Structure 1
Amino acid sequence: MESVVLYKFIPYIIYGMAIVFSLGGGALVYAGLSNSTERLQTRLRMRSTLNKGRALVQESASKSAAEDWLKKAGNPLGLTSLTYHIIFIVGAVILLGNYVFIPFIMTGEFSIIAFAVIFIGFLFFLPSMPYSLFVFFMKRLVDFQQAKKNAEVFMLYDLLINELQMMKVSRINSYNLIKDLLPYFSTIQPFLAKTLTEWSSNIGPDAALENLGKKLGTREGRSLVSVLKSLDRVDRVTAITSLKGMQEMFTRAQIENNRRKRKVTTDLLGIPVKVTHFLIIINFIVVVVIMVSNVLSSSH
């Protein structure tokens, strides 16, 4: 059996050796016909071409649908569009090589079923497909991230009201309030820290708070920004009244966010069941195709 396998691979080994020797001979001829300056210029041109190609690949990846979804989801596991596409392509090549091309080289038979299953499976992970598993996971992660942000925004409302109620002076300093409350947060802490940095720079407090509202990306976050803008210009009682009014409105929105969060958890827990049903359906289709092909071959 091993001798038969080796016999099948002999032509490919010969072709590989011929390619290696041809490339080696071409390199030796080039080294003999060119001087060191020409070789240095050629290396520089090749390096420049590679850098331009790498920049084009990174630019196209940054404008892809996968990059948009991964940014909205907070780049889970440090994934970017480029790394995701590399993993996607490498996985496709490995599966096709293991289940399609290597069996074809070994037996000479091309497995259409294996190719179709792998092709359909990878279609479900394409970022450009609106109903793919990739888009499904990203939507759930985005909803989960928004729910975490809203929960901490609600906590910020509560902490601001408590701080204002304990104050003995009527003059409010929003910068110091946010700075003192910064350690209590995890999800929105980077956004608040960036806002404080911009606050004390040439940008100013209003522009810094506007940027905070854009980074939070929720209606509740933008409402909080509108309240924070007016804290320094109103007295303590008015600020507490405004914050309590916004908190009551936000509480109703938070109830809806909690329902959405439970729905996300339910959907994530239901994924193994859905995948199992999908595999059962695929297995049933494969069995039907094999049975039909056997019946047709026997009738011929």
Structure 2
Amino acid sequence: MEQVFFFKILHYIIYIISIALGIVSGLLVYQGLTSQTERVQNRLRIKRSLEQQKEKLVMSATQSSTEDILKKAGYPIGLNAFRYHVIFLTVFVLLVVNYILFPLFIYGTLNVWVGLFIVAAMLLFLPSFPYSLFTYIMKRVIDFKDAKKNAEVFMFYDLLINELEMMKVNRINSYNIMLNIKPYFHVISGPLTKLLTTWNNDEGPEVALDRFAKEIGTKEIKSLVSVIKTLDSVDRETAMESLTGMNNMFIRSQIENYRRRRKVTTDLASIPIKTTHFIIVLNFLLIVVVMVTIIMNANRF
């Protein structure tokens, strides 16, 4: 068997050796016709061209819809669009080479079902495919992150009221209040840190608060920011009245947010079950197709 296999791949070995010798001869001719300075210049030119191509690829990836989805999802496990596409293409090429090209060139056989399975698997993780598993999971992750973000916005509202209730002076300092409650947050810690950092810059607190509300992006934080803008210019009782007037809106939002988090958790937990059911149904269909194919081939003879 080993001898038969060797003779099967012998012509491929000859091709590989011929290509290698051709490359070596080309390099020797190149070195003989060019000077050291020209070779260095050409090497730098090629290196610069590769760097420019890489920058274009990174730029196109960062401006793609995949980057937007991963950014909203908080870059899970450190994945951005460029890294995801590199991993996706690498896995796809390895599967094609190992299960399609290698059997085709070495053994002369091609399994159509394996090819269809690879195509189906790639579609499941293709970001541009609207019904892919990647899109479904990322949407659920975004919903879950938004729910956690809203939960901290509600906590921000409660802590702000508690800080005002415990104040012994009538004069309010919004910056000190938010600085005191900052350690209690994790999801909105980044936007809150940016808010406190840019609070006293040339643009002023109102611009910093607008950016804070835009970065979080919920209607609750926008309403809360509109009240925070007036805290330094009103007394404690007026500020408490403004915040407590938003109580009903925040209660309804908290209930809706809890329902959303439960739904997202249920959807994510049901993915393995749905995947198992899909594989079972697909396996049944494949068995039926194979049985029909065998029966039709048997009836021909």
Name the TM-score class by shorter chain: over 0.9
Once residues 97 and 42 of structure 2 are traced to their aligned partners in structure 1, the CA distance between those partners, rounded to angstroms, is: 35
The answer for the alignment partner of 2:48 in structure 1 is 48
Q: Are 2:163 and 1:182 equivalent residues in the alignment?
A: no
* 8 A contact 1:213–1:221 mirrored in 2: yes
- Report the alpha carbon displacement of residue 161 of structure 1 after superposing the two structures with TM: 0.8
Report the alpha carbon displacement of residue 179 of structure 1 after superposing the two structures with TM: 0.8
Displacement of 1:72 in angstroms is 0.6
**Is contact 1:157–1:247 with CA below 8 Å preserved after alignment?**
no
Amino acid across the alignment from 1:116 = L
Equivalent AA in structure 1 for residue 65 of structure 2:
A
Q: 8 Å contact 1:124–1:134 — kept in the other structure?
A: yes
- Deviation of 1:183 after TM superposition, in Å, equals 0.8
Q: CA deviation at 1:99?
A: 2.3
TM-score by length of 2: 0.96
How far did 1:5 drift? 2.1
Q: Indicate conservation of the 8 Å contact 1:220/1:250, yes or no.
A: yes
Equivalent position of 1:287 in the other structure: 287
CA distance in 1, matches of 2:96, 2:285: 20
SS of residue matched to 2:246? helix
Distance 2:227 2:242 in 1: 7
AA in 2 matched with 1:2: E
1:169-189 Cα shifts (integer Å, max 9, x gaps): 111111111111111111111
| Structure 1 position 2, deviation (Å) | 2.1
What does 1:223-262 correspond to in 2, within 5 Å? 223-262=223-262
After the TM superposition, which residues 1-300 of structure 1 pair with which residues of structure 2 at under 5 Å, given as runs? 1-300=1-300
User: What TM-score do you get using the length of structure 1 for normalisation?
Assistant: 0.96
Question: What is the CA deviation profile of residues 262-297 of structure 1, one whole-angstrom value per residue up to 9, with x for unaligned ones?
Answer: 001111111111001111122122212222222232
Matches of 1:258 and 1:235 in 2, distance apart? 34
Query: Structure 2 CA distance, aligned partners of 1:203 and 1:285?
Result: 64
8 Å Cα contact 1:206/1:229 also seen in 2: yes
Structure 2 residue identity aligned to 1:131: Y
Structure 2 CA distance, aligned partners of 1:107 and 1:284?
29
Q: What do residues 68-113 of structure 1 show as CA deviations (whole Å, max 9, x unaligned)?
A: 1000101001101011111111111222223222222343111111
Partner SS, residue 201 of structure 1: coil
Q: Please report how far the alpha carbon of residue 190 of structure 1 lies from its aligned counterpart in structure 2 after TM superposition.
A: 1.0
The Cα of 1:14 is off from its aligned counterpart by 1.5
8 Å CA contact 1:58, 1:82 repeated in 2: yes
Aligned-residue Cα RMSD (Å) equals 1.3
Cα displacement (A) at 1:259: 0.4
Aligned-residue offset at 1:50: 0.4
Secondary structure (helix, strand or coil) at the match of 1:8 reads: helix
> 1:168 offset after TM fit, Å?
1.4
Query: Does the Cα contact within 8 Å between 1:95 and 1:118 map onto a contact in 2?
Result: yes
In structure 1, give the amino acid aligned to 2:87.
Answer: I
Which SS does the other structure have where 1:186 is aligned?
A: coil
Count of residues in Structure 1 that have an aligned counterpart in Structure 2 = 300
Structure 2: which 5+ runs fail to align? none
Which sections of structure 1, spanning at least 5 residues, go unmatched? Answer: none
Structure 1 contact 227–242 (Cα < 8 Å) conserved:
yes
1:128-184 CA-partner distances (Å, limit 9, x unpaired)? 111211111111111111111111111111111111111111111111111111111
Secondary structure of residue in 2 paired with 1:169: coil
Q: Distance in 2 between matches of 1:131 and 1:103?
A: 31
Runs of 4+ in 1 over 3 A off after TM superposition: none
Report if aligned partners of 1:154, 1:247 keep a CA contact under 8 Å in 2: no
How far apart in 1 are the matches of 2:244 and 2:53? 56
Q: CA separation in 1, counterparts of 2:58 and 2:173?
A: 44
- Separation in structure 1 between the aligned mates of residue 174 and residue 273 of structure 2, nearest angstrom: 49
